Amino acid sequence: MLQPSSLVGQLPAFSQIDPDGIEAAISRLLDDNRAQLEAILAATGGDGDFATGILPLQALDLRLHAAWAPVNHLHGVSNSPALRAAYNRCLPLITRYETELSQDARVWRLYRRVADSQPDEPAAARLLELALRDFHLAGVDLPAADKKRFGEIAERLAALQARFEQNVLDAMAAWQLPVVDPARLAGLPDAVLGAARDAAAAAGQQGWLLPLDQPSYVAVMTHAEDRDLRRQYYRAWATRASDQPPSPPAFDNSAVIEEILALRHELAGLVGYGNFAEYSLATKMASSVTEVSEFLSELARHSLPAAREELAELERFAGRALAAWDIAFYAEKLRADKYAVSDAELRPFFPLDRVLAGLFALVERIYGLVIEALPEIDAWHPDVRFYRVLDAGGEEIGGFYTDLYARADKRSGAWMDECLLAADFPGYRQLPVAHLVCNFARPTASAPSLLNHDEVLTLFHEFGHTLHHVLTRVPYPAVAGINGVPWDAVELPSQFMENFAWTDEVLPQISGHFRSGQPLPAATLQRLRASRVFHAGMQMVRQLEFALFDLRLHAEFDPRRGSRLARLLEEVRQSVAVVRHPEYNRMAHAFSHIFGGGYAAGYYSYKWAEVLAADAWSAVDNGQGLDTGQARRFRECILEIGGTRDIGAAFQSFRGRPPRLEPLLTQAGILPAAGGE
C-alpha cells in the first residue's frame, strides 16, 4: 500500500505569495544569508572541510532557491503586473548577492583548500571542481575595479533578459484578430474555433477572436485555407517585439538586443575570453567555437541536399512557388497525400489525458516508477496538477507539477523548471520537484484537449527533462539533476525520451479516440511511423539556421559596429536555409532561448544532444522491440548521476564507445539504414 506523501509539507504555498511582500522577504533572506556566510567563515576560520565549510554553503543556496524559485516560476506562468513589478525589483538584489558570493575570495580559497584535500567521494570532488571553474568565470581573481564592473554587467543583463521576455509576452497579448466571416476560418480545427468563439463571447463580440498564442498560430499556419489569414498571422508572429508592425513600438526589443550583446561581450572580455561564445563554451562539452562550427557544418553538408529536394517536391505538389506562410499548410497536405495520415485525423486519437496515462505507464514499465496524482495541492491556477513519483519499492523519490494549457499571462513554448532541488546531507533532506509546462489548446465544451503528434513529442521531451531532475541520486544540489550537466548535454534525456512516442509498443498505449476509446488503427500507426522522416532535412536546416545564427552572433560581435543583426541572419540563411523569409521577418526579436533563457551561444546544444540521444536510442531500440534492460542502464548511467561525472565518460559507459553522428542521420532518413551501425 502506498504511504502518505512527505512531499506536501515541502511544496511552495503558491496561493500565499503576495507580490507586495516579495521584495521585503527576499531582501531579508539575502541579508540573513550574508550573516550566515560570515558565521560559517568565522566558525571554520576559513579552513573548514567539506562537511563544516562546503555543505553549510550549499544550505544557503538551497534556502535562496526555495524562496526565489516559486517567484521565478510565477513570472513565467502567471505574469500579473504586480508580480512582474516585484520580480523586476528583486532581480538586481538576487544578482548582486550571487555576484558577491561568487567573487568572494575567502569563499573561493575555502573551496580551493577543500579541493586540495582531494575528497574521496566522487560527487563531492566534482562539486568542488565545477565550483572552482565557476568562481573563475565569475571574476573572483579580477582586480577590484573589474570585479565591480562584472557585477554591474551581471545585474544589468538580468534586467535586460527579463525585459526581453516581457516584451515578447506583451507584444503577443496586444494582438488579436476578430473574425466575423466563417469562410475565413475554413480548415481550422474545432478546438481552435471553439476557443476563439468563447474568447469573442467573453469580450462581448460577435464571431471569433483569435489570439497570438502558439496553439492558434500553429493551427492557422497548418490548416487555414485562407492564404491571406495565414499571411496575416505569419506577419504578426514574425514581428513580435520588433520594430515592424503590427507589433507595438513600446515592446520593440531592438535596443534590448544590442545592449545584451554588448554587455555579454564586455563580460567575457573581463575574464579573459575573446568573445561571449568562447566564454559560454567554457561550461559545455564542445571545446571551441571552431569545433561547434565544424559540427554544424557537417550536419548541413548532409542535410542541405535533402532539404532542397524536399522543398522542390513540396512546390511541385503545390504547383507554385511557396512563401514562408505556405510551407506548413502544403506540408500537411503533402504528408497526408504521401502517408495517408493528417493532423486532423490524428488529433482525436491523442486526448491529453490518454497520452499522460500512457506516458506514466511507460515509465512504470521501463524504469519501475509509479506516478500518483495528489489532489488539492496549492497551485497557481485551477488547471495545474501535481504528481508524486515512487520507485518500484514504493519509496517516494520526488514529484512534479503540470501546467499544460496556453494562457494570455503565460509565456509561450514548453519547458521544465526546478521547483525543489534534491538534497540529502546533515540538516537537509529535500526531494526533487519539477515544473512541467506546455502550451496546448484548452479543452472545449465539446472535446478535451486534443494533441497532434508534434505536441505529443513535446510532452515526452519535457517529461524527459522532468525525469532527469526527479530521478537523481545525488545528495548535493549543485550537481544533482540537471545541475552541473554541460548545457550541450542537458537535452540528451529529453530527446532520448521523444523516441518512445514513435514506437509500435508505445503509440497504442498513448492513443485512443476521445469519443470511442478505440486505439489508433494499426495501419494509421504504421503510416505515422513512416512519416517520421517527412521533411527531416528541412527541419534539420531550420535548427541549424538558429544554431549558426546564435553562434556567429556571439562569436563575431564587435562593439564598434554592433550586432549587424539583419545582415548576419541573412548570411546564415543564405548558407543553410531553404525557406526564404520576407524582409520584415524579425525572428531574433522573439528568440527567447538566447536573449531571455540560458541558450546564449548554446543553441547548437539541441543538435549536439540529439546526436547523443539518437546514438543512445539505437542501444534501446534494437529493431525487435524495446530493450528495457538497456533503458534501465540509461537511467543508471545518465539520468541518476546529475553532474557528478563527465558526460562524455558517462555516455561511453552506457554505449561502450564515443557517440557517432550516423544514428541521427539514419533516424532522420538522411542516410540510408546501411549507413548506421
Which amino acids are annotated catalytic? Answer: 462
| C-alpha–C-alpha distance, residues 470 and 370, integer Å | 13
Using the Cα atoms of residue 270, residue 274, residue 277 and residue 280 in order, give the sign of their dihedral: negative
**Which amino acid does the sequence have at 412?**
S
In 242-257, which positions are buried (b, 16+ CB within 10 angstroms) versus exposed (e)?
bebeebeeebbbbebb
Q: What is the dihedral of CA 672, 673, 676, 677, to 10 degrees?
A: -150
Q: Both ends of the chain: CA-CA distance in Å? A: 45
Is-contact 559 265, C-beta < 8 A?
yes
> What are the strands, taking DSSP E only, across 385-523?
385-390, 396-405, 415-420, 423-425, 428-430, 433-440
Q: Which three cell numbers stand for residue 153?
A: 554587467
3-state secondary structure of 370: strand
What would the grid cell of residue 548 be?
549558426
- Residue 546, all three cell numbers: 538558429
- Here the contacts of 31-35 (C-beta below 8 Å, separation 24 or greater) are 33/60, 33/63, 33/64, 33/97, 34/97, 34/100
Tell me, letter by letter, the H, E, C secondary structure of 439-476.
EECCCCCCCCCECCHHHHHHHHHHHHHHHHHHCCCCCC
Task: Dig out the grid coordinates for 308 from the structure.
Answer: 532542397
Of 343, 495, 482, nearest in space to 421 by CA: 482
Radius of gyration of the chain (CA): 25
All 3 cell numbers of residue 94? 538576487
- Cα separation, 378 vs 399, in Å, equals 14
**At 521, which amino acid appears?**
P
Residues pairing with 387 in the sheet:
373, 400
Instruction: Encode burial over 27-56: b for 16+ CB neighbours within 10 A, e otherwise.
Output: eebbeebeeebeebbeebeeebebeebbbb
Residue type (1 letter), 598? G
Q: Is 465:482 a contact under the CB 8 Å cutoff?
A: yes
Identify the CA nearest to 568 among candidates 253, 247, 261, 283.
Answer: 261
Other Cβ atoms less than 10 A from the Cβ of 191: the count is: 22
Grid coordinates representing 512?
Answer: 485512443
Residue 380 DSSP SS3:
coil
Nearest Cα residue to 49 out of 141, 137, 99, 121: 121
